[in-house]
């Protein structure tokens, strides 16, 4: 009888130690898991801080491509239109009848929509396209253009005649007319560095 009691006692002690080891290892595993989760949260938070600190205007704005935004330029001009491609030093807007190419230096603020845009194709390619290359496209379209300076003032209105590396030439004419080769027009040479934005409008 005493032998049985000793055996039972040993089995109970062994079982107790087993329970203690299980509990200990469970606690250690829980602590390690919590440490891993905390470390992951810290890494995510740090990556978010770094990403926000190093974000560039063009990349941040490009996320809203395809949505309608409201832009306040210098000179108290407000433009509400759909956001197009965004490059390093300019971005594009468009409506059914007009297109804008706006340099960031001429912008006071941008009112963003609540949701991001759905169009993400060509974002990286757009960043590398120069401001002068976009203006040359307007030259090929022979559309009527208004050129505004970096301080918001209207510099000239007419039809583009030449877009060079660091300047453009515009033939001035009335707002409701196309340029006519038979009619002599004033021509203005404008350094690209003094341009704040250009708007191209189709005639009805």
Q: In terms of residue numbers, what domain contains 132?
A: 59-201
CA dist 75 and 141 (Å) reads 28
Q: Which of 55, 51, 71 is nearest to 112 (CA)?
A: 71
Hey, what's the torsion of the CAs at 52, 55, 58, 60, to 10 degrees?
Answer: -20
**Count of domains observed in the chain:** 2
Same domain, 103 and 154: yes
Same domain, 117 and 196: yes
The pLDDT score that the predictor gives to residue 29 is 75
Tokens of 200: 């191209």
pLDDT under 70 in the chain at which residues?
1-22, 24-25, 28, 45-54, 117-126, 174-185, 203-204
Reported as a single tens digit per residue, the pLDDT across 164-182 is 999 999 998 765 555 554 4
The pLDDT score that the predictor gives to residue 76 is 86
Same domain, 79 and 140: yes
The pLDDT score that the predictor gives to residue 58 is 87
Q: Which of 103, 102, 85, 84 is nearest to 94 (CA)?
A: 84
Question: Which pTM was predicted?
Answer: 0.71
Same domain, 123 and 176: yes
């Amino acid at each position: 009888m005493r032998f049985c009691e000793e055996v039972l006692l040993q089995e109970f002690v062994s079982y107790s130690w087993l329970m203690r080891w299980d509990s200990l290892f469970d606690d250690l595993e829980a602590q390690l898991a919590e440490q891993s989760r905390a470390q992951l949260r810290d890494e995510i938070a740090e990556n978010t801080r770094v990403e926000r600190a190093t974000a560039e205007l063009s990349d941040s704005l490009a996320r809203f491509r395809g949505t309608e935004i409201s832009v306040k330029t210098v000179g108290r001009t407000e433009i509400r239109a759909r956001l197009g491609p965004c490059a390093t030093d300019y971005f594009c807007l468009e409506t059914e009848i007009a297109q804008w190419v706006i340099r960031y230096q001429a912008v006071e603020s941008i009112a963003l929509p609540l949701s991001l845009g759905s169009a993400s194709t060509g974002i990286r390619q757009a960043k590398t396209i120069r401001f002068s290359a976009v203006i040359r496209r307007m030259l090929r379209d022979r559309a009527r253009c208004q050129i505004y300076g970096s301080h918001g003032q209207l510099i000239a209105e007419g039809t583009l005649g030449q877009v060079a590396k660091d300047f453009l030439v515009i033939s001035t004419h009335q707002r409701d007319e196309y340029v006519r080769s038979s009619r002599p027009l004033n021509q203005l040479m404008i350094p690209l560095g003094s341009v704040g934005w250009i708007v191209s409008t189709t005639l009805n």
